[in-house]
Structure 1
């Protein structure tokens, strides 16, 4: 009988924890399941003569960027991603300003997800531990991620 009660108690605790994880008010994460986006890898970025592009995971979205000036530039390295928090008391909700890359010519390319006409979408950071408050900006709402892993600077589009 004690074993049965103990197992029931363990099951109840596990169920309570799983229920809390599904609700965003406790963990500041989106409730839906969807495609996790992240900054494209340098090898996935293609230059078509005017615009740099990379496919995204979300339907109807792609990554775009332009370099000012002339010439063709090869993207060689991911530098960082910049995110701005837009909601009070949230450590994960806001907008991705850009993913920044270095080119072979030591220039910087900024890329953003092109969501079409959905300009006001809130985004959620997937792994807050990868994002740090930026020392380059005066605002405490600007986060930077320099994680070079393929999905290190991940987020969800709403």
Structure 2
């Protein structure tokens, strides 16, 4: 009898947290992620950004949205490398909801280029896809400004909806 009571308590202690996690829904505050499996957006690769008369463009994965940036320098400069992405948290106590302020790149002229989303979905709240890639920005004193400097494909991912 004592053994079965101990086994029952042990199973409850071990399995209770596991069952709680499994029962949580994806849209809950526990996970703080969107409930839909929509397309994950990320800063475009430097090689996918093309310039025409000082206007830089790259296709986005989401329908009706493009990446756009403007150069104030040489018309013939090219994008060399991704530097970082800036994300601003918009909801109090959220670690992943807000909007992407810009993706920043270094150009062949030594300047920085800021690329932003432009299109019909841009005004919606966004969610960070991989929270581990985003950290509090060292360039700003606000805890609501995050940055991602990871260079991997889709490392600075987020969802638009």
Q: The TM-score by the shorter chain falls in which range?
A: 0.7 to 0.9
After superposing on structure 2, the runs of 4+ consecutive aligned residues of structure 1 that deviate more than 4 Å are 11-16
Q: How large is the Cα RMSD of the aligned pairs?
A: 2.3
How far is 1:119 from its partner?
A: 4.7
Q: Say yes or no: does 1:66 pair with 2:42.
A: no
Q: Say yes or no: does 1:88 pair with 2:88.
A: no
How far is 1:115 from its partner?
A: 2.2
Consecutive unaligned residues in structure 2, runs of 5 or more: 1-11
Consecutive unaligned residues in structure 1, runs of 5 or more: 1-8
How far is 1:104 from its partner?
A: 1.1
**Alignment map for 1:3-152 (pairs within 5 Å):** 17-116=21-120, 118-152=121-155
Secondary structure at 1:27 match in 2: coil
Match of 1:153 among 153, 156, 160: 156
Matched positions, count: 151
Q: Which has the larger radius of gyration?
A: 2
